[in-house]
Amino acid sequence: MANNTNEYRFLSSTRNATTAVIVQIVMGVVSFVERMVFNQCFIPDYLGFYSLFKNVISVLSVAELGLSVAIAYSLYAPLAEDNYDEVRAIINFLRKVYLTIGTIILIAGIAFTQILHFFVKTEVDISSVQLYFIIFLLSTVFEYYLSYKYILFNADQKEYITTLITNIPWIFMYILQIFISIKTQNFLLYSLCILIFDSIHCIALDIYANKKYPYLKEKKQTKLSKDSKKKILFNVKGLIISKLGGVAVNSTDSILISAIVGSSILGFYSNYQMVTKGLLGFTSILPNAITASLGNMGATESENAVSEGYRYIDMSFFLIYGLLSVVLLNIINPIIGTFFGASRRLPFSSAMIICILFYLNNNKSIFNTYKTSLGLFWYDRYRPLISGAFNVVVSIILGKIIGFDGILLGTILTYVVIDLWVEPMIIFHKGFHSSSRSYISFAMLRLFLIIALMLLTSYATSFLPEIGIFSIIMKALISLAITALVLYLLFHRNIYVKQSVKAIKRFIFKKEVL
């Protein structure tokens, strides 16, 4: 029975990851072409609006309070036990709550349009900016109204389904947006595409969920059990403050850049975000694919097995993300200059800060994965609030003094001063019941190593031009070779690196991973 369970975990993680990789490649190519066209057809301010709207709506979506994460954790057990009544009760509970949350976001968003001009520095007519924001707002609200059942697929280790249903409409959306950008240069039509295709994917997801899980359509009224409700409310209490702080850390940079520096600079930064988030889309596939499997594992396996799994996954993430971060620094400006225009590049200092953030965000993904899969929300309830307050204050101060770089430096300082210490303590102390001291020291050394490799490889590739396909390829190869060699010399004897290599071999030959 245990072997069958392990095999199912592996197959689910593999299927989720494989689907995500294929879709991500297609989405990456299409969205990259769309962004190239966009940069040719629209002024940078419109890119700034797009980034600003997404982050403002993220702030408004704090009403969700992390409920979806708590619900996903509560679904693991009833799905594994085929307790259909309990699953249906949980999903019906989520539907009612999401209808309320969607309405709250709609009302708050409409109210925000009245003060939107305080957050936008642009020559574009503010009434047009308000209209664009309303369109983005409606797209988010419809998702709350229609796509709440996506959580069932993810908790059931079938994330590949939501990946396909979500991204296939978006591929067609990007193609239509390319046509609109070239033929009309009309940002209103461009924005309406997002609303239309988001609605299509929400409706398609709802229809498929009813087909895949027919018991959801049963009219039998099943109340959520007291035990399930107690667990959900317990986790939500821990997530409320966590969500508030997380929004302050992750969703305020673009808002501050727009308000302090200007929408056009935010538009330039949006191009860099597209490159890093495109790469982040690939690097986040593994943690996203294995979250449900880890949740199942945490409920059925020994604490020591979960702890050992964490250690070699963490080392694997460091090697992969560290290598990618160093290479990214050496090619991101050539990519922007070659495909989006030399005038839209940011200084080297800004590019380096962006790439350090890329490394840190990836490094944090393992914390989030394990906190989610092991249900450690309650213990993390205060850290994000402190981080969020610290980030906003420091980013505003440094933004006023340094400008764009200062705002992003505030986020880096937040991670180094607070998150890097507190999150490992939660994982190790509450999840594994062991000390986190050696891990934190090792994580700090790894961060300094990556920064040193960034500087070393940048110097080694400085003789190459900043624009051109040849320059991108050569900078990538040189920085890849130097970084891989240094990492190999330093870590090839590490026991968890050896375990990671074994895990890759098991993955290739279709054997058990977790």
Tens digit of pLDDT at every position of the chain (514 positions): 444 555 555 555 566 566 666 777 787 788 888 888 988 888 888 888 888 887 788 777 665 656 666 677 677 777 777 788 888 888 888 888 888 888 888 998 899 898 988 888 788 888 888 999 999 899 888 888 877 777 777 777 677 777 778 888 888 999 999 999 999 989 899 999 989 998 888 888 888 888 888 887 777 766 776 776 777 766 666 566 666 666 666 677 888 888 888 888 888 898 898 888 777 666 655 555 444 444 444 444 555 666 666 777 778 778 888 999 999 999 999 999 998 888 889 999 999 999 999 998 887 777 776 766 666 766 777 777 788 889 889 999 999 999 999 999 999 999 888 888 888 888 887 777 777 788 888 889 999 999 999 999 999 999 998 888 999 999 999 999 999 999 988 887 877 777 666 655 554 454 444 4
Cα 67 to chain center, whole Å? 17
Q: What total number of domains does the chain contain?
A: 1
Contacts of 66 (CB under 8 A, 6+ apart): 236, 239, 240, 242, 243, 377
Would residue 287 count as lying in a domain?
A: yes
Cα 203 to chain center, whole Å? 23
Would residue 383 count as lying in a domain?
A: yes
Would residue 96 count as lying in a domain?
A: yes
Q: Give this prediction's pTM.
A: 0.72
Would residue 303 count as lying in a domain?
A: yes
Would residue 514 count as lying in a domain?
A: no
The amino acid at 503 = A
Contacts of 338 (CB under 8 A, 6+ apart): 467, 468, 469, 471, 472
C-alpha 102/C-alpha 95 separation (Å) is 10
Would residue 122 count as lying in a domain?
A: yes
Would residue 513 count as lying in a domain?
A: no
Domain span at 319:
2-508
Would residue 343 count as lying in a domain?
A: yes
